């Protein structure tokens, strides 16, 4: 069995799917590993480091794709590389089936096995493969660091002979994995942290990290069976708007993380709310790639409205590619290991396994 990976488009994706540590594990499992030349050089990992383990390299991506039984990537391959895939090959990554349905249907019709890791079920056995959680953790942390870097005041309270500097007030909108990490990071750095979420189960988690949970009176619990947020009713949205409008007047930094899988991000922070915020405040929108949680979010740009900076990036993890690659590669290996039949040295597509059944694109 041969497993391969080619370089992503470096302009949009700096993470890699196979690190030297993980390459060694694949080889121990019985795979031959094939990579593009200079695969990890941009992360400070030389080809020699891989070669010393037994990894094979090629400067011809067509050769790598053609030779590999299994191809592991961050996202869907470009059209020209997808055209190289053939029957019985397996492609694993974050394939974004909501936006790439047509392309994935075409590949599937050619009897190419496709597994999209963002479809993993939220079960205990899948936790070691959960790329959404591992990457969101880093994104939540980095969003706080980026927003603090653009905030022109101190974050913790400072008592000096010249007077006291008050602590910054931070609001985290959406208390999923990214939001909880943002709360923890902001709290560690001395901020006063508030959070809100449509899932009532988040209250206990927020408070355990030292944040204050803001809840809409008589709120409904908007949580799917899979643990994700679902779209709120108009009545809930109106009550949430009123609560946020008052809260935002006193907030210095906002971290937005609210996403609904497969849909445009909900616009939670409206124009009039931003107009009432204090000049010098900062909003970091982690939902920027799906349209954003604010009325003015523009991916990869800092927009200033009435002295409030609104920012968000398509891929914030490009600013933490070494850490993000390390976690992603481990998640990927755990997934492949679950697919692999060690005795017969081949993949076993067992549809009775919930992990395999849910992630396979049919």
Active site residues: 122, 127, 130, 133, 228
Question: Residue 356 is encoded by which pair of tokens?
Answer: 């395999």
| Four-point Cα dihedral 90, 22, 51, 27, nearest 10 | -60
In what helix (H) or strand (E) does residue 18 lie, and over which residues does it extend? none
**Residue 194 burial by Cβ neighbours in a 10 Å radius (0-12, 13-18, 19+):** buried
What does DSSP assign to residue 118?
A: G
- Contact (CB, 8 A) for 288 and 299: yes
The DSSP bridge pattern shows strands 169-173 and 253-256 to be: parallel
- Contact (CB, 8 A) for 18 and 72: yes
Q: For 343-360, give the DSSP string.
A: TTTEE---TTSHHHHHHB
Report the alpha-carbon distance of residue 323 to residue 138 in Å, rounded: 8
Sheet of 90-93, strand order:
56-58, 32-36, 2-5, 70-72, 90-93, 113-116
Write the CB contacts of 60 (distance below 8 Å, at least 6 apart in sequence): none
Q: Give which of 213, 216, 154, 228 is closest to 183, Cα–Cα.
A: 213
Report the alpha-carbon distance of residue 296 to residue 269 in Å, rounded: 9
E strand residue ranges, the chain: 2-5, 32-36, 56-58, 70-72, 90-93, 113-116, 158-160, 163-165, 169-173, 192-196, 212-213, 253-256, 282-285, 303-305, 308-311, 340-341, 346-347
Bridge partner residues of 3 (DSSP): 33, 70
Q: For 95-113, give the DSSP string.
A: --TTTSHHHHHHHHHTT-E
């Amino acid at each position: 069995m041969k497993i391969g990976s080619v370089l992503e488009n470096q302009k949009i994706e700096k993470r890699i799917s196979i690190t030297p540590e993980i390459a060694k594990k694949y080889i121990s499992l019985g795979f031959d590993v094939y990579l593009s030349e200079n695969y990890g050089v941009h992360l400070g990992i030389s080809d020699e480091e891989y070669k010393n383990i037994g990894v094979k390299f090629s400067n011809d991506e067509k050769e790598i794709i053609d030779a590999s039984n299994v191809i592991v990537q961050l996202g869907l391959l470009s059209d020209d590389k997808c055209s190289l895939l053939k029957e019985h090959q397996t492609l694993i990554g974050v394939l974004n089936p909501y936006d790439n349905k047509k392309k994935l249907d075409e590949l599937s019709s050619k009897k190419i096995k496709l597994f999209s890791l963002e479809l993993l079920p939220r079960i205990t056995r899948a936790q070691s493969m959960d790329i959404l959680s591992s990457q969101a953790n880093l994104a939540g942390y980095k969003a706080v660091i980026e927003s603090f870097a653009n905030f022109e005041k101190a974050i913790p309270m400072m008592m000096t002979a010249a007077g006291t500097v008050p602590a910054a007030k931070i609001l985290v909108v959406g208390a999923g994995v990214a939001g909880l990490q943002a709360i923890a990071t902001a709290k560690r750095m001395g901020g006063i942290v508030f959070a809100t979420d449509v899932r009532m189960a988040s209250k206990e988690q927020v408070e355990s990290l030292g944040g204050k949970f803001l809840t809409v009176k008589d709120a409904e619990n908007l949580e799917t069976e899979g643990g994700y947020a679902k779209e709120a009713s108009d009545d809930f949205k109106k009550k949430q708007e009123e609560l946020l409008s008052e809260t935002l007047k006193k907030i210095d930094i906002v971290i937005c993380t609210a996403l609904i899988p497969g849909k445009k991000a909900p616009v939670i922070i409206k124009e009039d709310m931003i107009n009432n915020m204090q000049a010098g405040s900062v909003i970091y929108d982690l939902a920027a790639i799906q349209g954003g949680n604010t009325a003015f979010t523009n991916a990869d740009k800092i927009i200033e409205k009435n002295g409030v900076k609104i920012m968000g990036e398509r891929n914030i993890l490009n600013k933490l590619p070494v850490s993000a690659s390390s976690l992603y590669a481990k998640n990927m290996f755990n997934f492949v290991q679950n697919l692999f039949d060690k005795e017969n040295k081949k993949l076993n597509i067992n549809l009775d396994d919930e992990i395999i059944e849910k992630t396979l694109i049919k």
